[in-house]
Each structure stands twice: as C-alpha cells, then as structure tokens.
Structure 1
Amino acid sequence: MRNFVFGILVMAFALLSCKSDDESLQRIDQIMNIYMVNSAGQDLLNSKKPGSFSGYSVNDSLGDRDISPVNIPLRMRADSTFYMEYIAGAKRKRLDSVSPDNPGTGNSYYSVMTLGLRRTVNNVADTITDRLRIEYRKTPTLFQVSKVYYNDVLQFSKEADQPNSINTFTITK
C-alpha cells in the first residue's frame, strides 16, 4: 500500500512539473536591418551603382583579439534595395546593473563594431572606417535592442513596451 501511495505522489508531481507557463519565456528582439543611402537617397550598398560601396568588413571592437570579424550578411529586398542584416555575433559587455532609462527593470549591455566600407573614387581605392554601437535592454522577460549609434549619432531607439519586431533603420552618409 505504501508503494502505491508513493507511486501516485510521484506521478502527480511529474504531471505538475510538465505544466507549461508561456509567461516564463524571455522574448528576444535583436535582429537589425541596416540600410545606407546618400543624401540623394541612392542605395550605397548596391555595388553596381556608381559611388556605392564595393564591399565592407565588420570587426568586433570588444572582441578577444584585435581582429575579431563579425558576420553581417548583405541581403536584398524584392525592390532590389540592399541592407545589412545583423542578428548576433559581437561580444556584449554590461553597461550598468540598472538601466538609467528604466530604473529597476534589469541590465543594459552594449556592443561596439567597426565597419570598413570600401569604394573606388577616381580609380583610387578608399576605405571609410565607421563605428556602430548597439545598446541592449535585458529584463527577466525581455532582451531587446534599445538604442543604436552610428559614429556616435543616435540612429534608432526603442521603448521597452514596444512589441518585438525586426529593428530597421537607415543611415545617411
């Protein structure tokens, strides 16, 4: 009889532990689509257009080594507009233990990357070096991009209560 009661208790605990709780999942929102245009609106990532960049490289400035490449693939929309799709890859460092924008909500992190943008001007190869800084907001229920700076100029910001989405912004060079 004792084994029977013990068996029922074990099964009851097993069934209770299988209960799923959707509220306990953390939402992750960190995908970014980065567009680059000139002041006339020309797509600078389309290497077939004159004056555009012929290539680019991305290095993690906070990486373990001086050269820590980050893979940011070039994608194309249906209308032939190119963009860089950043999902993850750069090292994140803790910014503070309590976010100054949202006190008591969690931790803030940041990543810093260097972009080497290559193009040819008057048959001379030229490389422009720019800086991309991404700040993240982390709470027990959310991890998301909160701000993006390009050459120390704010390009994108997102409030904590905004829904998950692909974070899209355009840099004008």
Structure 2
Amino acid sequence: MKNVFFLSFLIIFALLSCRNDEAGVQKIDQIIRLYIDSAGQDMLNSNIQGGYTNIRMNDVYGLTDSAPVNFGTKKDQDTLSYIEYIAGARRIGIDSTGNAKTYESRIALSFTKRLTDSTTATINDTMTVQYNFTPEIFRVSKVWYNKVLQFTKVADEPNIVKIQK
C-alpha cells in the first residue's frame, strides 16, 4: 500500500513538473538611450568644447528631496555619447484598466557646462517616462523632455530619445 501511494505521488509530481510556464514570463523593455545634441554637437561628450562636464539625475517622485538615479554615460558605434537609463526612479500609478496599468517616473536632470576656464553654467531639465504594464509586457511607452513629447514606443524598436537643444 505504501508503494502505491509513493508511486502515485511521484507520477503526480512528474506531471506537475512538466507544465509549460512560457505563458507566465513577462517581457521587460525599460532601457532608455538619451542623446542630447546642440547644433550638431554631442553635448554629452565632456571632451568637446561646450559639452556637459557633469551630469546628475534626481528622482522627482523619490521619498526624499535628494534621491539620485543611477545611469551610465556610454558611446554608440558612431562614438556619439548617450545616457543609458535602465531603472531606479520611483514609478507612480496613473491609470489602471483591467490587467493594463500605466506608471510614470519623473527625473530632474542637471548638467554643468563650462563657459570659460573659470565659469560654469548649470542647465536643469526634466524627463517624464511613462510605462505600460500588462501580464505579458512591462515597457517604456512615452517620454517627455521638458514637457514636450519626444518619444512614443514602436514595437520591437529600442527606446532611443534624441533631444535637440
């Protein structure tokens, strides 16, 4: 009798282990590449005269006034500099319909620009990122830069935001 119970248990366990969990996998697409250009000049290249020498990002919806956001400055295959923002800013819910939800993050960007050898200027901008969430996908859907819509998601395309100053 113990053997029948043990054998039944093993068969049920084996059947449950063979389930296909593919439907439960959510695709995540939230990496943003932010390029900033002014009159054909790569403003994120600190080695170029007039480029930004210091970049800071702060979470506007953060739990404290000072809530730095992690990012990286990288170069693409054409050696243009860009800010790679992956995640880190707090997301707040702004809409919900059934299984679909919309979230938003707001980030304050601060750039330092060298004017002369002894003078600098600080440029303050804001980036708002809207995300769509469904059980199948979590992705960037829109990006506003200084309250101007600069990016709308196109399926299967990278999230590249190009700002002209």
When normalised by structure 1's length, the TM-score is: 0.88
Secondary structure at the residue paired with 1:69? Answer: coil
Post-superposition shift, 1:111?
0.3
| More divergent stretch after superposition (134-143 vs 18-27) | 18-27
Paired amino acid for 1:91: R
Identity of aligned residues (%): 38
2:135 is matched with which residue: 140, 145, 152? 140
Secondary structure at the residue paired with 1:17? Answer: helix
Q: Gaps (5+ residues) in structure 2?
A: none
Q: Would you say 1:37 and 2:32 are equivalent positions? A: no
Paired amino acid for 2:27: R
Secondary structure at the residue paired with 2:89? Answer: coil
Q: Would you say 1:57 and 2:52 are equivalent positions? A: no
Structure 2: distance between partners of 1:12 and 1:66: 57
When normalised by structure 2's length, the TM-score is: 0.92
Which residue number in structure 1 is paired with residue 80 of structure 2?
81
What is the number of equivalent residue pairs in this alignment?
163
Deviation track 1:109-159 (CA, whole Å, cap 9, x = no partner) reads 010000001102244211111001000000011100000000011111115
- Over the aligned positions, Cα root-mean-square deviation in angstroms equals 1.5
Q: Would you say 1:20 and 2:20 are equivalent positions? A: yes
Structure 2: distance between partners of 1:49 and 1:10: 69
Structure 2: distance between partners of 1:120 and 1:146: 34
Give the 5 Å matches for 1:150-165.
150-158=145-153, 162-163=155-156, 165=157
Deviation track 1:34-84 (CA, whole Å, cap 9, x = no partner) reads 11101x221110011112111110000011100000111101123321100
Structure 2: distance between partners of 1:110 and 1:71: 17
Secondary structure at the residue paired with 2:65? Answer: coil
Post-superposition shift, 1:11?
1.3
Q: Which has the higher strand share?
A: 2
Paired amino acid for 1:135: Q
Structure 1 runs (4+) greater than 3 angstroms displaced? none
Which residue number in structure 1 is paired with residue 160 of structure 2?
168
